[in-house]
Amino acid sequence: SYVLAQPPSVSVAPGQTARITCGGNRIGGKSVHWYQQKPGQAPVLVVYDDSDRPSGIPERFSGSHSGNTATLIISRVDAGDEADYYCHLWDSGSDHPWVFGGGTKLSVL
Amino acid sequence: QVQLVQSGGGVVQPGTSLRLSCAASGFTFGSYAMHWVRQAPGKGLEWVAVIGSDGSEKSYVDSVKGRFTISRDRYQLTVFLEMNRLTAADTAMYYCARMITPYDAFDVWGQGTLVSVSS
């Protein structure tokens, strides 16, 4: 089955830019989506189709996609961004086509 | 207001059954495929099951095939997850979520419902 690899943790100082990566084979041909999950809450979509933002999500959240890696970029990080972040895509060739990365804990120092 | 409101769940013994519900409002329920995603304590997200917009297509993760059944009621605007022969490995927070096409994002999620399987 398809595997998405995320770093377990990323730390960043307030005001800086956080980059969370998501690696997968042939990921360049797939749409990647990103979710934010705070403790005790349901996931919230923050970026879809690699780089688009749902309404209500700050412009500080963006995404990029290059080679075998997708990246969630959070600029001007503040304490409220501390959360787990998951990437997700659909792999049509897999028995389990809806795949999530293992998640990345973003810590704001 | 677009929302998914979940109910069901609880603490059950191994080998027993449970049914989860997810009631939709604020959008055209029949236009969306509906999914269940679970999260074991301290772990990441795991896709569990999907039912197509008209209910004709269903798919499951291997670990629940033959034990879980997803269904939907177009009049009650509700999707269900019937879980049988539960084991400790099924202990998780269960979320329902909607999606229009398979490659789309899960743009709306339910609040989650906890299933705990313990003797």
- Alpha carbon B82 to chain centroid, angstroms: 9
What is the distance in angstroms between the Cα of B104 and the nearest Cα belonging to chain A? 8
- The overall longest dimension of chain A from CA atoms, in Å, is 42
Measure the CA–CA gap between A90 and A105, rounded to whole angstroms: 23
Q: What is the pLDDT of residues A69-82, one digit of tens each?
A: 999 999 999 999 99
Is B45 in the A-facing interface, judged by CB distances under 8 Å? yes
pLDDT at A93 over 90: no
Contact list, A102 vs chain B (CB under 8 Å): 44
Share of chain A above pLDDT 70, in %: 100
Which pLDDT belongs to residue B77? 98
pLDDT at A95 over 90: no
Q: What average pLDDT score do residues A58-76 get?
A: 95
Q: What average pLDDT score do residues A90-103 get?
A: 90
Measure the CA–CA gap between A65 and A56, rounded to whole angstroms: 22
Q: List chain B residues with pLDDT less than 70.
A: none
Measure the CA–CA gap between A104 and A81, rounded to whole angstroms: 12
Contact B22, B78 (CB under 8 A): yes
pLDDT at A41 over 90: yes
Which pLDDT belongs to residue A96? 82
Nearest to A96 among B45, B47, B107 (CB): B47
Mean pLDDT of the residues in chain A: 95
CB contact under 8 A, B35 and A44: no
What is the distance in angstroms between the Cα of B107 and the nearest Cα belonging to chain A? 6
Contact list, B95 vs chain A (CB under 8 Å): 42-43
Q: How many CB pairs under 8 A join A and B?
A: 57
Which pLDDT belongs to residue A83? 98
What is the distance in angstroms between the Cα of A48 and the nearest Cα belonging to chain B? 6
